[in-house]
Structure formats: C-alpha cells, structure tokens
Amino acid sequence: MNIGTRKILDRSFTAVGIGSIVVMAVALMIVVVPIITNGIGAVFFTGTVEHRKMLFSEFKRGDSENLSSEVASSERYRAKVYGMLTGFEAELETMAPEKKAEYKTKYSEVRTALQALLGPLPGDQEPMLTRFKYGQTRWEKAEEKLHDLLYESKWDNSNPEVMAKEYFVSRAIGFEGTSLVKLFPYVKDNLDKMLLPEFTVYWGFITDSSVDSHFFGGIWPEIQGTFFLAIGAMLFAFPLGVVAAVYFTEYAKPGFLNSMLRSANSTLAGVPSIVFGMFGLAFFINTLKVSESKSVIAGALTLAIMILPTIIRAAEEAILAVPKTYREASLSLGSTKWNTIATVILPAALPGILTGGVISLGRAAGETAPIIFTAAVSVGSAIGLADVLSSPTPALSWNIYNLASEHEAAAQIRHVQYGMVLALVSIVLMLNLSAIVLRARISKKLKG
Amino acid sequence: MDARESSGSAPAQKATRDMYLPPERRKIADGGAAHISAKEFSVYYGEFEAVKRVSADILSKYVTAIIGPSGCGKSTFLRSINRMNDLIPSCHTTGALLFDGQDVYGKFTDEVLLRKKVGMVFQKPNPFPKSIFDNIAYGPRLHGVNDKKKLMEIVERSLKKAAIWDEVCDRLDKNALGLSGGQQQRLCVARTLAVEPEVLLLDEPTSALDPKATAKIEDLIQELRGSYTIMIVTHNMQQASRVSDSTMFFYEGLLVEHASTAQLFTNPKDPMTEDYITGRFS
Ligand SMILES: Nc1ncnc2c1ncn2[C@@H]1O[C@H](COP(=O)(O)OP(=O)(O)O)[C@@H](O)[C@H]1O
Ligand SMILES: [Mg+2]
C-alpha cells in the first residue's frame, strides 16, 4: 500500500473515531442533562407557604412563629377570595332556578380549582387524604393550577378529519355580570401574596419518608431499600464469587465438567434479569421459603444470583492476570498452594476483583426486574435492619417505574420521579467512581 | 572463617577440588559430600525428554555452575530439584533424584518442606508487590515467625547477607517494585536466604541485569560460597569460571561433562565441551 493511501486511511479512521465519540457525547448529554436539571428540582425549587405548612405539621420542621406570621399574612389576602366566594353564594340564592343551576356547576369547578391552588376553603370538611390538606407546595405547580382556575379546557371536535384539539376559554367570561368575575383578576394578581413563594432547599427530599404516596416528603425509604438490596446481594455474591473464581482458576482440573461449568457461568451472565426475578420468586420464596412473601432477603438473594456470574468472571480474569512469577516466588519459599493464593495471588488480584465487585454492586442497585416479585413494594416506610428477613422494601429502581406509570397522579409528582432517577444515577455513578478510585489506590500501592 | 580456611580435616575428595582454587577461595570446610545426587534422572514434558538420564553428584557447600546452549535443559534440571516443575501438568520424571539421601520425587516427600530447604532465585527478579520488609519476612512468616523483633532481626540479617542492607535500610517500608533491577535481584536472594535454606538454586540470575549489577551478584555468590550449596545456571562462561567450583555442561538434555571448573575450562575431556567453551557453537 503506498504512503498516500495509508495516510488517507489513517486520517479517515481518525475522523470516523472522533465522529462516533462526538455522537456518543451528544447522546449522553441528551439523556443526562434533563435528568440532572429536573432531578435537582426535587431539592432546589421555589416553595410556597403551603410547603412550609406541610413541613411543620407533617415533619415538625420549621420555625412556628415565623410560619404563623407568614400564614397570617397570606390569610389576609386569601380572606378577600373567601369573601368573594360567600358573596357569590349569597348571590346564587337570589337567582332564578334555571340560572342558578347553570352557575352552580361552573361555580363548583371554580371551587375545586381554588382548593387545588390554596388548600381547603373555609367551610370545607377536613380532608381525609393528606394530599388535599395543603394547597400547591411548589410555585411552578401553583402557576399551572392558576391557569386551570382562569381557563376552562375544551376540546374542538368540529373537524372529524383531524384529532380533537384542546383550547382554553376564560372562566371569567362565564361569570360576566356576577360578583365572582372580580375573583379571577384578583387571584391572578395576588397569588404570590397568598402563597408567598420563596427559594427553598429541601434536603429532606433525600432523608424524609414520603407522605401520602409521594405527594409530599422525600425518598429515604427507597434510597435505604436500594442500599439494603445491593449490599445484601454483595454480601452473598462477593465471597461466593471469589471462592468460585479461585476454584476455577487454581483447583479445577481442565476437563469436560470444568468447561461445562465455565460456559454455564458465561451463559448465566447474559440471561435477562426478569428471568432471575421469576427464578427468585419460584426458588427462594416458593421453594426455599426464605420468607413468607416478598422480603429484602429474597430480593438480595435473587440479585446475588444475577450478579454472581459477573463477579466470578471479573475475579477469574483478575486472578489469571497475576504474573506467574509471583506464584513461583511464593512456592519456591516453601509456601503451600493455599497460602500462596491467600497471601500473594488474591492481594495482587484485589484491584480487579474489587472493580468487578463494585460494578456489580451498581448493577444490583439499578436492576428492577429481579426485585419486582421478590422484594419491592410501591409504598412503604423505611424498614429497620431487623426486618430485612421478613419485610419488603421500596427501592429506587422499582419506584421510579411505579411512580411514573402506575401512580394515580403521575403527572403531579414529576419532580419526585426525576429526583429518584437522579438519586439512582448518582448512587450508581458514585459506586463506579469509588471503584475507579479504589482500583487506582490499590494499584498504586502494589506498584510502589 | 578461620576454621573454613584451614581445610586440613576435610575429606580427600574435597581437597582435590580445592586444589585448583586460589588460596582466598579455599574456604569450604565441611563440603565435599554429595548433597544432591541424580541417578539416571530424566525429566519429560509429555513425551519429550528434556533432561536425559543424568547421573551426577552436587557437592555440599560448593558452587556448581550449569552451562550449555539455550534449550538444553538447564532450567528444567534446576527446577526439578525443588519440584517447581510440579506447576507444569505435563511434566514427569524417571530415575532418581536424591536430596540429603531422600528421594525428591518419592511418594512421601513433602514438596513444601523440600522447597523450604531448597531455595530458588529466578531469571527475572520477581519481588512481591509488597514492602521490602514484607518481602523478606514473607518466608519466615509462612514458617511461623510472627514476633516483630525476631522478624526484624531476620530481615536485617538476610539483607546484610545479600549485600543490600546499606542500600535499603532506610526504606524498608517502601514497595520493593521501586528498586532497580539489580537491587530487586539481590532482594530476591535475601528473601530466599531468610527461609534459611541449605541449597540455593539460581537460574540465570544476572541475565536481566546490567554489568554493574551483575558484578554485585557475583560478589554476593562469592560471599555465600561455603555456607550454602549453590547451583547457578548461566550463559556466561566467564561467569561460570569466576564463581563456581565445579561445572556441568549440558547439551540437548544430556550431561556431557561434569568436572571441577578449573579442569573443565582448561582441560575438557569431551570434544563437545571444548567446542562449546571455545565458542565454536553456542
Ligand atoms: N513447559 C514446557 N513444556 C514443554 N516443553 C518445555 C517446557 N519448558 C521447556 N520445554 C522444553 O524443554 C527443553 C529445555 O528447556 P529449558 O530447560 O528451559 O532449557 P534452558 O534453560 O537450558 O534454556 C527445551 O527444548 C524447551 O523447549
Ligand atoms: Mg533457562
């Protein structure tokens, strides 16, 4: 090949390489940026006085004097709204029956929108569900609810050829000529005084339990559950995996059985995780009866089986990569095989073994399918260490799915979903990062 | 030292070998008995006979050099003495190899105990990725010495014997891989000496080292001569003649000639030996 062609080939390969890296970087940004920006919104956001009320009564947090002065100030502005409502209710009574009926439905819609915005109105029954006890706790949500109050959503079905289109009609127009018409501009102009938005840092999102299935509060039970499951899985899988790897590399005689075991191990590493989930249910819960039903221990065992092949392979590779000369040196000093493994081979293989271990830990933390049938519940409080043998637990991976797809008000709690995603991604990244640091530190120690 | 130099009480056989040596090297007092002896000893890799029916006596406290062209079975023979060949599954032996009168490949031989008595230093320096102290203390710890003070004593003594103490005494806690190649090799000698072996097997210990480091290792062998039975494989004829008392010449697995170094290099009996040492083939 002449030099010109060679150069062109080299250059074009470089270009293709750089191009693919750029594409990957862009794709990563597209995935990661919204996770981070939206996820951070779970902790840093513009919170309203309703948020502070909720924190005070649900978590006993916050300064009561400060809060009561805030509430008093917001109530002053709200009082006018309440006054308009009572005024209009009186006006309703004086109306002709058919007119009254027409206004009544519209009026009840207005009330509902106001309840969503500000919380229970005077004269309302004390709500049973916590989610109805407070108005909007987050300012951006309050603005959405304000829009719901000001405009009625309608669907344009006039053209059967195309899909129906949503359009908005001002509610104020519907109340033209009544006293209530003044309510809409008033609420619009004074919403900030009624809700007192201010920049809020809510670390409790990480450390609090959830209130009323994630309407309020934090995700600590999920974070804790994720740790319990992942660490529990490691407690089983890591020692077992290292022992198996030592057996395969040091003790097993090459032969049919050995190669069968090895290829079984490789195959197992590629089995879809849902299969492990089903297996965990069938084997650990139904057959072995490690617990009566879902439990942390059953989930941890299932995850352990799932990550075991990866750990074995990583440990095997690390052990095989230990220079033969170490083994020779140790044996020539009169060391037994077992001693050589324990004092020379395993320490030298440790960086590789640990890296495999931590990466598996990250996988155990992130997997959803294996715990669906064995350990995960959608709502629950943080469990104690003593309960891992019998209790199921919420966990980030499963609850992200659950909150985004099965929650009755999934759209209301997007910030919680994103917050959980960010928490999970951070945990997995942190674990991988610590694997890198650990590896670098041990390698440095070994290399001197 | 005095006792060693006045070699009057030594056996006659020993006296004849020491005759060839300059006076300052005549320090072998109780040497001369066969420490290791091979009888019709063969080593096979599968079907391939790498060492062929070798019969020889390796004398106690002597330095024995093994020379011969590459691939002639020098390493194989050396490694069969401390049973490092056990690591190669296809490897097996016939004939007899006796160490202290005991069959090395006997049914009841404990190869771990054997290796404790027969230490080995390899071609490429192979310290553990541990501190200098832990490298030396590795063997003693294996054999049950755990007392910190006693370990320190052993480490110091071994490093001094291996003539490397002065260079490393202020950094015993540093990783051994940070030493130079020559230092690493002397460290490996010290590590072997710390186990207090009777025999020291050196497989081309200087082939990976520069001339200065080589000279240091050769000096070290001189120092150790008379205290240990030493076998050294070397490619370097000058080295063999400088450091050894007797020399074995291997060719294609056969032991062609085994004689005192002075005799083998000045007056070889076998024409093949002569060809080799005069450089007609290598
Ligand atoms: N592990 C092994 N398996 C098969 N043959 C080997 C092995 N090691 C060495 N040999 C063969 O045995 C012969 C002697 O090797 P070796 O003892 O290493 O020679 P030397 O050390 O004299 O250079 C060579 O022909 C070599 O190819
Ligand atoms: Mg060799």
Residues of B in contact with A445 (CB under 8 A): 129, 175
Q: Between A and B, how many CB-CB pairs are < 8 A?
A: 77
Per-residue pLDDT of chain A (448 residues; tens, 9 = 90+): 788 999 999 999 999 999 999 999 999 999 999 999 999 999 999 999 999 999 999 999 889 999 999 999 999 999 999 999 999 999 888 888 888 888 888 899 999 999 999 999 988 888 889 989 999 999 999 999 999 999 998 888 888 888 888 889 999 888 888 888 899 999 999 999 999 999 999 999 999 999 888 899 999 999 999 999 999 999 999 999 999 999 999 988 888 988 898 899 889 988 999 999 999 999 999 999 988 889 999 999 999 999 999 999 999 999 999 999 999 999 999 999 999 999 999 999 998 999 899 989 999 999 999 999 999 888 888 888 888 888 999 999 999 999 988 888 888 889 999 999 999 999 999 988 988 898 888 888 877 6
Q: Domains in chain B and their CATH numbers?
A: 2-127+197-277 (3.40.50.300)
- Residue A43, helix vs strand vs coil: coil
- Residue B160, helix vs strand vs coil: helix
Q: What does the buried/exposed string (b/e) look like for A32-60 if buried means 16 or more CB atoms within 10 Å of the residue's CB?
A: eeeeeebbebbbebbbbbbbbbbbbebee
- Give the ligand with the smallest distance to the CA of B51: 1
- Return the ∠ at Cα A222 (arms to A219 and A225), rounded to 5°: 150
CB contact under 8 A, A446 and B177: yes
Ligand 1 nearest atom to the CA of residue B90, by list position = 3
- Return the ∠ at Cα A102 (arms to A98 and A103), rounded to 5°: 120
- The structural domains of chain A, with segments of one domain joined by +, span 49-202, 220-447
CA B42 – CA B96 distance, rounded (Å)? 8
Taking the centre of ligand 1 as the mean of its atom positions, its distance from the CA of residue B73, in whole angstroms, is 6
Do the strands A165-170 and A198-201 form a parallel or antiparallel pair, or are they unpaired? unpaired
Q: List the single best residue of B75, B85, B112 to mutate versus A (max A Cβ within 10 A).
A: B112
- Residues at CB less than 6 angstroms from ligand 1: B 45, 48, 50, 68, 70-76, 88
Straight-line distance from the first to the last Cα atom of chain A, in angstroms, rounded to the nearest whole number: 45
Q: A441 at the B interface (CB within 8 A)?
A: no
Amino acid at A2: N
CB contact under 8 A, B87 and A335: no
- For residues B127 and B177, the answer to whether their CB atoms sit within 8 Å is yes
- Phi, psi torsion values for B47, nearest 5 degrees: -85, -20
Ligand 1 nearest atom to the CA of residue B250, by list position = 22
The confidence score (pLDDT) of residue A242 equals: 96
Taking the centre of ligand 2 as the mean of its atom positions, its distance from the CA of residue B62, in whole angstroms, is 21
A220-447 domain in CATH 3.40.33.10?
A: no
| Minimal Cβ distance to A328: which of B84, B116, B191 | B84
Q: Give which of A429, A365, A358, A432 is closest to A399, Cα–Cα.
A: A365
Q: A329 at the B interface (CB within 8 A)?
A: yes
The confidence score (pLDDT) of residue B15 equals: 42
- Residue A422, helix vs strand vs coil: helix
The confidence score (pLDDT) of residue B20 equals: 52
**Closest residue in chain B to residue A343, using alpha carbons only:** B138
CA A152 – CA B5 distance, rounded (Å)? 115
Identify the burial level of B262 via C-beta atoms within 10 angstroms of its C-beta, where 0-12 means exposed, 13-18 middle and 19 or more buried: middle
CB contact under 8 A, B126 and A325: yes
Ligand 1 nearest atom to the CA of residue B45, by list position = 4
Distance from CA of A236 to the nearest CA of B (A): 29
The confidence score (pLDDT) of residue B30 equals: 53
Q: What does the buried/exposed string (b/e) look like for B174-193 if buried means 16 or more CB atoms within 10 Å of the residue's CB?
A: ebbbebeebbbbbbbbbbbb
CB contact under 8 A, B115 and A332: yes
Residues of B in contact with A446 (CB under 8 A): 129, 175, 177
Residues of A in contact with B84 (CB under 8 A): 328, 331-332
CA B149 – CA A395 distance, rounded (Å)? 53
The DSSP output letter for A289 is: -
The confidence score (pLDDT) of residue A67 equals: 94
Ligand 1 nearest atom to the CA of residue B69, by list position = 22
- Return the ∠ at Cα B244 (arms to B239 and B246), rounded to 5°: 125
Residues of B in contact with A336 (CB under 8 A): 112
In tens, the pLDDT along B123-180 reads 999 999 999 999 999 999 998 999 999 999 999 999 998 889 999 999 999 999 999 9
The confidence score (pLDDT) of residue A213 equals: 85
The confidence score (pLDDT) of residue B7 equals: 40
Token pair for A54: 């909720």
Low-confidence ranges of chain B (pLDDT < 70): 1-32, 281-282
Ligand 1 pocket check: which of B41, B43, B48 to mutate, most ligand atoms within 8 Å of Cβ?
Answer: B48
- Give the ligand with the smallest distance to the CA of B203: 2
Nearest CA to ligand 1 atom 18: B75
Ligand 1 nearest atom to the CA of residue B88, by list position = 1
- Return the ∠ at Cα B172 (arms to B171 and B175), rounded to 5°: 85
CA A3 – CA A196 distance, rounded (Å)? 73
Q: A158 at the B interface (CB within 8 A)?
A: no
